[in-house]
A and B are shown apart, each in its own frame.
Chain A
Amino acid sequence: MRSSTSCWRTEPIVYGKGLRALSLATALILTGAFAMVFFYAPLDADQGFVQKIFYVHVPLAIVALCGFVAGGICAIQYLRTRETKWDMRSYVTIHISVILAVGVLVTGSIWARASWGHWWVWDEPMLVSFLIVFLLYATYWPLRFSLEDKEKQARYAAVFAIVAGAFVPLNFTAVRMAEQYIHPETLATTTGGMPGKFALTFVICLAGMALLFVTMIKYEMASKHATFRLRSLRRKLAGDDDELTLGGRSAAPQL
């Protein structure tokens, strides 16, 4: 969608451009993916209908993992350029990835319950490592919130994002190695010997999740950007911008 207010036209970065097209594409692919899951992909021989959760669970996990690493990369860029937009990107990416991580935990738990009768199983490396990752990233917000100075907040958050982003793949590998003798990994079934229909459905689901991720990121960035512009305009209207102290502290970065 094209922005129509004149002040937006002077902004070098315009958020919200193309958001409608992106949302449509995401909705389309996701609907198609789910249709495929229910009608196209054959039933799994031993797990039955329950196995279909796998088409949500694993793509969510893969996208979330990539999201966490991407958050770390944005943080590296922030430390190199000191431009707040990178801090914003890092923050939003981590935020959405944590939401996806909760999704992974929930879908994984449902799968575990349906497949093995327990709401939690320790021999699913994906589930276990996401629990650890979730616990780690849950401290991102208290950390940001407790640092008042915005520049310091962004810098420390960037350090955290880098350390945590590096940790995510290492953790996953370590946990997987710990369990590999007990339970065959689900990923082996996705990379290696997956018959055609499974593979196609999976790939479409993965693409859908990735698009969903990107759409959510763009929405959040656009919304934050709009809030910031609004506040900045309000301040300018009120006159001197250092007389006005805005609200309280916040964990979110400001552009």
Chain B
Amino acid sequence: MHLRGAGRRYGERIVLRDVSLELAAGRTLVVFGPNGAGKTTLLRILATLLRPHAGEVRVLGHVLPRDGHAVRGQIGFLGHEALLYRELTGRENLRFYARLHRVAPGRAAAVLDAVGMTARADDPVAELSRGMVQRLAIARAVLHEPALLLLDEPLANLDPAAAEQVAPLIGPGCGATRVVTSHDPAGGLQGADVALGLRGGRVAFLAPVAEVAAMQITELYR
């Protein structure tokens, strides 16, 4: 992906200003920053959920927002909300999304298994714990085998065992290009290739992971 001078405003407030970065295919970008720094906005722009108000954004070779419809099928998005219907079961939710993404129904079952939710797949989402909901959300995000994964704090609410279980799907070895937000300096840098620090909507630092010190990250939060 390729961004140049990307910006986004909300009413009078500018939430993202002049963000430029490049990320090669298969690489991982980790995004650090305090709440309100614009991490989620950046992810949503890349996911084609928001259109950039300034600058140029190119994802998987397509220009956004113009060609958004062309890339949607190749993007997997995991946001703060699980995007699951609470009254439906996990299985029904995944089957629904499988139909929307035109993915074989068998894939839903496979993905359920991969996140370890097959046992509770037929309980309504409203009855599941947050960790389980997070696992289902991850399943939803990878259901259509996307080439680009946009993960907003993917390991939130997951215990270490669950985190290990989902690692092959969304972790560094999964094969997709990844953009991950994180509040954890050490964990975030591990498994990433490039690090981006956002503060107040602007780029505080952007460098390969090897050149980034933990101090720079904690600076962001001051």
- Is there a direct interface between A and B, measured as CB atoms under 8 Å apart in the complex? yes
In the bound complex, do residue A148 and residue B13 qualify as a contact, i.e. CB atoms below 8 Å apart? no
A208 CB, nearest partner CB in chain B, Å: 41
Secondary structure dominating the interface of B: strand
Cβ–Cβ contact B14 & A149, under 8 A: no
- In Å, the complex CA distance between A149 and B8 comes to 12
A-B interface contact total, Cβ < 8 Å: 16
For the complex, is B12 an interface residue (Cβ under 8 Å from A)? Answer: yes
Interface contact A246-B10, CB-CB below 8 Å: no
Interface: B173 (CB within 8 A): no
Residue A150 at the chain B interface, CB threshold 8 Å: yes
Interface size on A, residues (CB 8 A): 9
Asked if B12 and A242 sit within 8 Å, CB to CB, the answer is yes
B106: interface (CB < 8 Å): no
Residue B187 CB within 8 A of the other chain? no
A245 on the B face (CB < 8 A): yes
A242 & B11 in contact (Cβ 8 Å cutoff): no
Bits for A227-247, please: 1 = Cβ < 8 Å to B, else 0.
000000000000000101110
What's the Cα separation between A233 and B13 when bound, in Å? 17
Are B10 and A149 within 8 A (Cβ)? yes
Which chain B residues lie closer than 8 Å to A242 at the CB level? 12-14, 17
Q: Name A82's closest neighbour in chain B (CB-CB).
A: B51
Q: Which residues of A sit under 8 angstroms from B17, Cβ to Cβ?
A: 242
Cβ of A150 and Cβ of B13 under 8 Å apart? no
What is the minimal beta-carbon distance from B203 to any residue of chain A, in angstroms? Answer: 15
Residues of A within 8 A of B11 (CB): 148-150, 249
Closest partner residue, chain A, to B53 (CB atom) = A151
Q: How far is the CB of B9 from chain A (nearest CB, A)?
A: 8
B118 to chain A, nearest CB (A): 41
Complex CA gap A244/B12 in Å reads 8
Q: Which residues of A contact B10 (CB under 8 A)?
A: 148-149
- Chain A residue nearest to B200 (CB atoms) is A242
The A-contacting residues of B in range 7-38, CB under 8 angstroms, are 10-14, 17
Cα distance A245–B53 in the bound complex, in angstroms: 19
How far does the alpha carbon of A249 sit from the alpha carbon of B13 in the complex, in Å? 12
In the complex, besides A148-B11, A150-B12, 4 extra interface pairs with C-beta distance below 8 angstroms are A148-B10, A149-B10, A149-B11, A245-B13
Q: Footprint of A on B, CB under 8 Å?
A: 10-14, 17, 53
- The 16 sampled A-B contact pairs (Cβ below 8 Å) are A148-B10, A148-B11, A149-B10, A149-B11, A150-B11, A150-B12, A151-B53, A242-B12, A242-B13, A242-B14, A242-B17, A244-B12, A245-B12, A245-B13, A246-B12, A249-B11
* 5 interchain residue pairs of minimum CB distance: A242-B14, A148-B11, A149-B11, A150-B11, A246-B12
